[in-house]
Amino acid sequence: MFISEAYAQAASGAAAQPGGLESMFSSFGVMILIFAVFWFLLIRPQCKKFAEDRARGTD
pLDDT of 18 reads 56
Residue 59, classed as helix, strand or coil, is coil
What is the per-residue pLDDT across 43-58, written as a single tens digit (0 to 9) for each? 888 999 999 999 998 6
Q: 0.75 cut: is pTM over it?
A: no
Using the CB atoms, write b or e for 49-58: b if 16+ within 10 Å: eeeeeeeeee
What is the per-residue pLDDT across 6-59, written as a single tens digit (0 to 9) for each? 565 555 555 545 567 788 888 899 999 999 999 889 988 899 999 999 999 865
